[in-house]
Amino acid sequence: MSATSFSALNDALLNLLWRQWHELGAPAARQKSAATRSIIDPEALVLCSLAMVQREPRLGDALVSWCATNSEHLSAQRLKNLARDYPAGVQALLPGLAHVMVMAGKDSRWRPLAGATSAFPALLAQRGRKQSTVVPLDRPPAFLLRMRAVFGLGLRADIIVFLLRKRDSQDYSDAGEIARAIGYNRTAVKRTLDVLEAAGALSTTGGANPGYAIGWSRAYDLLSKEIERLPHWKYAHQTFLWAIALLEGRANLMTGPEYLRHIALGRLLRQHSLFLATDAQILDHSELRRTPSLSAVAGVTTSWLKGV
């Protein structure tokens, strides 16, 4: 695989990050491509931007400015939960970013994560003067943030948004699928689902491992003006993790004997197989069994990022 393929993947991921920051009101020049076509996951966007800030220092401007202005839309608990899946360097930057939200955003919820941090990470130093605006909650990709403004931060809004992205009222999701998608503990998700079902907000299949769905008649009563323009849920957290894993694993995937490179790619595909073959359907199960070429994997991933 040539370096060009990795360059295209890197550019596609950065383009996606900038498109999403633009939608949320960050100081980001809109890229020369289609607007984002998915529901933005704000914690995943923050974490992937931290992972890419060394490759694209201007992301530091977007992160700091946006978080200082809009920290109330972020879940501190979910950010910590998802951060465990990202490279160690991302977790090392979190206290500094939390310090920004405490000091500039006047948001005391972030004080425990900031700890005693007073030094600001050089990677997040702002290079421009443009400031973020308040999140334009009426934009379809910001639908998750809008629902958090209605229902509050936490499981309830995230569950409802995930279930709303399905157009078929008989398309049920169990607690495990929902927990994986939104990045919370399955037990906590199941407890919240049962509360919503008892309140009549959800329908369920019943049984030992029930599926849950929002009946469209109920959804229209609640959100009739939003549903027709509701974007898709594209598993942003898993998408970003997969793209970063490819970029971070470049050395092992491109150097050494061919059989070792083949083994490294196969291992990476297996680690992300649920996302690749089920959530995103980037690769089908037959492709995962025979381990496609690195060029093919990078190519379909690049195409996927352009469509998110």
Burial grade of 298 (CB within 10 A; 0-12, 13-18, 19 or more): buried
Q: Give CA–CA dist 96/15, Å, rounded.
A: 25
CATH number given to 166-229: 1.10.10.10
3-state helix, strand, coil split of the chain in percent (to 5) is 65, 5, 35
Reduced to 3 states (helix: H, G, I; strand: E, B; else coil), residue 4 is helix
What's the confidence (pLDDT) of residue 250?
A: 85
Burial grade of 36 (CB within 10 A; 0-12, 13-18, 19 or more): buried
CB contact set of 248 (below 8 Å; sequence gap of 6+): 87
Please list the rounded mean pLDDT of every run of 10 residues in the chain (308 residues): 79 94 81 76 96 91 90 93 92 90 89 74 59 86 92 91 76 92 93 91 89 71 61 88 92 86 90 85 68 84 87
Query: Taking the domains of the chain in order of start, what are their residue ranges?
Result: 3-124, 166-229, 252-306
HEC per residue, 117-143: CCCCCHHHCCCCCCCCCCCCCCCHHHH
What's the confidence (pLDDT) of residue 10?
A: 93
What's the confidence (pLDDT) of residue 79?
A: 94
What's the confidence (pLDDT) of residue 168?
A: 63
The pTM of the full predicted model, rounded to 2 decimals, is 0.88
